[in-house]
Amino acid sequence: MIAFTDEQVRRFTGVTTRRLDEWMDRGVLHATVERPVGRRRVRLFSFADMVAVRVAHWLRIVQRPDGSWEDWRNGQLVLDDTVPLQRVTAELADAVSAERAGRRVPGTVERRRGVLGGAAVVAGTRVPVITLRALHRAGWTAARIVESYPAVTDADVEAAVSGGAA
């Protein structure tokens, strides 16, 4: 599962910190992981959680001045608008992909706190450099490594094998 922080959810959905906290406190929305850490709380949202936040935000935007979304017709409550779930999901997926692509610099190696215990990895991935070096020493070609690890490019393999440890 890919998890998103509060900050990422706010950035991708357009919801303010105050509004997100209010919805969470009132039980309107939930995070997949929520636990207190000292005086603060850590929340991690799944992609489905983030879609729910965005839909709640959309409903708030289309809400009528009287606070309602629906009308009574023939004894039934009818919502005049259709929630654009496919569009919301596609927009969020595109935003997440764009952010990840912007962070990814092919052919570089990095160390990030919390990723594989700080071991050197191919930038923007969780693929350990030590694994790529071991495969190369075992006789694997760069093409075979890239085939086995789709997130890795030829430039990444070259950087890992040539000793480009962060």
Residue 1 lies in a domain: no
User: What Cα–Cα distance (Å) separates residue 13 from each residue in 78, 83, 159, 164?
Assistant: 26, 15, 36, 37
Instruction: Quote the domain boundaries for residue 79.
Output: 6-103
- Which of 7, 19, 89 has its CA nearest to residue 60? 19
- Are 66 and 93 in a shared domain? yes
pLDDT digits (tens, 9 = 90+) for 92-128: 999 888 887 776 677 888 887 777 788 898 887 888 9
pLDDT digits (tens, 9 = 90+) for 21-78: 999 999 999 999 988 888 888 899 999 999 999 999 988 877 777 767 677 788 877 7
- Are 67 and 134 in a shared domain? no
For residue 132, how many other CB atoms are within 10 A of its CB?
25
Instruction: Report how far residue 75's alpha carbon sits from residue 78's, in angstroms, rounded to the nearest whole number.
Output: 9
Residue 21 lies in a domain: yes
Phi, psi dihedral angles at 149 (to 5 degrees): -125, 85
Q: Are 25 and 17 in contact (CB under 8 A)?
A: no
- Are 89 and 123 in a shared domain? no
pLDDT digits (tens, 9 = 90+) for 54-66: 999 988 877 777 7
- Are 95 and 113 in a shared domain? no
Count how many domains the chain has: 2
* Domain at 82, CATH number: 1.10.1660
Q: Is the pTM of this model over 0.85?
A: no
Both tokens of residue 112? 């990030």
Residue 24 lies in a domain: yes
